[in-house]
């Protein structure tokens, strides 16, 4: 398969190169053409908004005032707009200092200088065919007249579009619907930065590192990690490996049919860079290699980790519906998959609870519908319950034979709570007649740390019920703190109930020194756990990515009956790695230039 999959590896490299090209420009340099056109309105610095402008007293007459050097022609141009009471000659009032305030599209002519101004009745509206409207000492050039406009109180002659999706802006950062910033806010006011894996949510106070830019009407977002690691696991069942864990995600989003459409794909070269056997990880279990269950190793991800589309549209203000369809994707069952959790994104190791909590994040065949507001999300899915097979480069047969549901609540910007249930038909190829019931619950928390950092934590519970057996449980607590631009610390502790069949100690086993161990009944369960701590120091940073050097150490906990199998009650594991990803940014749509932005939907 290695030789026949070279073209797939090449396509991944092309996708990665395309991602780098797309994100090569910083977002600040991707301003839309409208950014250079908002020069049509000037406002005096000393004129309060919402008050009528005061009349200026005429300056004392001077020789210069009696005979202006060049005033004839310009006086004619303003004659129509000057009331009859202004027939007496006046010296031109000294103009206050003016500031630029963007007011929509730029007019197609240069503004004429207004020599004289007078208070205008606040009931007088600006005419769409006028060259420019006047507002006291303010001169402005209106955008094209629209029917969906509203009057600004205390600002005579000025109409403002009533919909926030309009291009009119007043002294605010760009929120154009066809700008990257405008596209980040979706139906019901939910920011795209809230998205985790599949259709999951993370707290608004933290973000995942990504880069985006506009290509015509599409916003292209890229997200991904590449680890180059040395992995050492000690003891009887330990192993060593040099390898690379990696994935890249591309998303293309645009407005469509009154809603928002997003196409996405997520690719990984794990089957090539850590082999189909995966990477060493003590006490890990799940999936197969050469027809045998994997143990003490983490399986590689499939090349097609995700390929799907999401559509969202508002039902009414603050309420929306969604549909997600994916030949390869994630159903509404699990918490955010570990590589997308802000509390674990820089951690190269998968949790031991993976197949109790978030293993369905790669399912070949998913259809999810949901209804949501800004605070809650209720979803239901039908999907393929079978785990991916050993051919990691293709699409497995697509079936919709299982179902699940999940409720997510984000009560504040700092918290995200979720609970899910799923029925998985025949998830394991080695036990095709066995079904699994799974329940999950998660609490995610996030907060900012200074100007460049964030602190994210997660507490997750998962439980499986295989066939007629009782429930087996697993719990996990993890945290990651990006302290600043240079330093990151992370950690995880977990406990899970695994059977002798899961750990493949249900058959006689020879140790390395030739001792034969008899094995246990397949259904016998053991409580196993791990404690991990890690640190990353950033070495280099470009305008699109950062490279860090990191290390993580794990102390495992094995019950006494399993000590002969592992050679110790506390075998250890070590990862030393280089990690490359987009650099983390704390810039949020909820905090633009210190101004809280709230988008209303109509």
Contact 552, 536 (CB under 8 A): no
Check residue 144 and give its pLDDT. Answer: 46
Q: Which position has the token pair 């009032």?
A: 93
Check residue 585 and give its pLDDT. Answer: 67
Q: Which position has the token pair 């190829």?
A: 429
Residue 293 lies in a domain: yes
Residue 22 lies in a domain: yes
Mean pLDDT of 42-66: 44
Residue 23 lies in a domain: yes
Tens digit of pLDDT for each residue in 261-291?
999 999 999 999 999 999 999 999 999 999 9
Percentage above 70 pLDDT, the chain: 67
Residue 82 lies in a domain: no
What torsion, rounded to 10 degrees, do the Cα atoms 339, 345, 347, 353 define? -40
Does the pLDDT value for residue 600 go beyond 90? no
Q: How far is CA 423 from CA 197, 322, 438, 460, 471, in A?
A: 20, 22, 7, 19, 14
Using 50, 70 and 90 to split pLDDT, how confident is the model at 182? confident
Does the pLDDT value for residue 381 go beyond 70? yes
**Which residue(s) pair with 172 in the sheet?**
none
Tens digit of pLDDT for each residue in 307-346?
999 999 999 999 999 999 999 999 999 999 999 999 999 9
* Count of structural domains, the chain: 1
Contact 338, 361 (CB under 8 A): no
Give the domain range for residue 467: 6-30+188-581
Residue 91 lies in a domain: no
Mean pLDDT of 7-18: 48
Residue 587 lies in a domain: no
Q: What is the CATH number of the domain that holds 474?
A: 2.40.160.10
Average predicted confidence (pLDDT) for the chain: 78
According to DSSP, the β-strands at 402-409 and 415-424 are antiparallel
């Amino acid at each position: 398969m290695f030789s026949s999959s070279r073209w797939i590896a090449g396509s991944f490299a092309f996708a990665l190169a395309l991602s780098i090209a797309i994100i090569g420009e910083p977002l600040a340099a991707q301003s839309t053409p409208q950014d250079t056109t908002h020069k049509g309105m000037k406002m005096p610095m000393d004129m309060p908004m919402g008050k009528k402008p005061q009349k200026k007293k005429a300056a004392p007459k001077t020789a210069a005032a009696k005979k202006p050097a060049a005033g004839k022609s310009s006086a004619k141009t303003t004659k129509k707009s000057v009331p009859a009471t202004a027939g007496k000659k006046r010296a031109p009032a000294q103009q206050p200092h003016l500031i630029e305030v963007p007011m929509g599209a730029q007019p197609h002519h240069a503004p004429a200088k207004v020599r004289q101004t007078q208070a205008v009745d606040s009931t007088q509206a600006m005419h769409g065919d006028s060259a420019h409207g006047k507002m006291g000492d303010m001169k402005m050039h209106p955008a094209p007249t629209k029917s969906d406009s509203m009057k600004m109180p205390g600002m005579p002659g000025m109409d403002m579009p009533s919909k926030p999706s309009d291009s009119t802006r007043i002294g605010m950062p760009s929120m154009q619907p066809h700008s990257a910033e405008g596209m980040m806010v979706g139906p019901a006011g939910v920011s795209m930065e809230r998205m985790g894996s599949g259709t999951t949510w993370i707290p608004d106070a933290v973000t995942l590192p990504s880069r985006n830019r506009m290509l015509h009407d599409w916003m292209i977002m890229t997200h991904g990690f590449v680890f180059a690691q040395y992995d050492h696991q000690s003891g009887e069942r330990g192993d060593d490996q040099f390898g690379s864990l990696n994935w890249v995600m591309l998303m293309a989003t645009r407005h469509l049919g009154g809603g928002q459409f997003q196409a996405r794909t997520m690719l990984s070269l794990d089957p090539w860079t850590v082999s189909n056997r995966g990477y060493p990880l003590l006490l890990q279990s799940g999936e197969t290699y050469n027809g045998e269950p994997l143990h003490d190793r983490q399986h590689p991800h499939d090349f097609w980790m995700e390929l799907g589309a999401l559509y969202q549209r508002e039902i009414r203000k603050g309420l929306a519906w969604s549909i997600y369809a994916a030949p390869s994707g994630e159903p509404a069952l699990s918490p955010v998959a570990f590589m997308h959790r802000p509390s674990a994104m820089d951690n190269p190791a998968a949790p031991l609870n993976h197949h109790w909590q978030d293993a369905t994040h790669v399912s070949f065949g998913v259809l999810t519908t949901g209804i949501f507001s800004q605070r809650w999300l209720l979803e239901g899915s039908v999907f393929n319950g079978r785990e991916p097979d050993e051919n990691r480069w293709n699409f497995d047969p697509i079936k919709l034979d299982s179902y699940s549901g999940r409720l997510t609540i984000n009560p504040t910007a700092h918290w995200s709570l979720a609970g899910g249930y799923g029925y998985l038909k025949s998830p394991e190829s080695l036990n095709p007649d066995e079904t699994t019931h799974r329940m999950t619950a998660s609490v995610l928390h996030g907060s900012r740390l200074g100007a460049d950092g964030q602190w994210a934590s997660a507490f997750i519970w998962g439980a499986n019920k295989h066939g007629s057996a009782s429930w087996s449980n697993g719990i996990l607590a993890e945290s990651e703190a990006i302290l600043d631009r240079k330093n990151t610390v992370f950690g995880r502790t977990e406990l899970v109930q695994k059977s002798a069949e899961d750990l493949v100690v249900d058959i006689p086993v020879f140790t390395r020194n030739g001792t034969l161990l008899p094995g246990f009944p397949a259904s016998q369960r053991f409580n196993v756990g791990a404690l991990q701590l890690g640190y990353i120091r950033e070495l280099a940073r470009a305008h699109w990515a950062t490279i860090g050097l990191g290390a993580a150490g794990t102390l495992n906990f094995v019950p006494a009956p399993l000590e002969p199998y592992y050679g110790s009650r506390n075998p250890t594991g070590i990862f030393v790695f280089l990690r490359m990803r987009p650099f983390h940014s704390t810039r949020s749509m909820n905090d633009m230039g210190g101004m809280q932005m709230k988008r209303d939907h109509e």
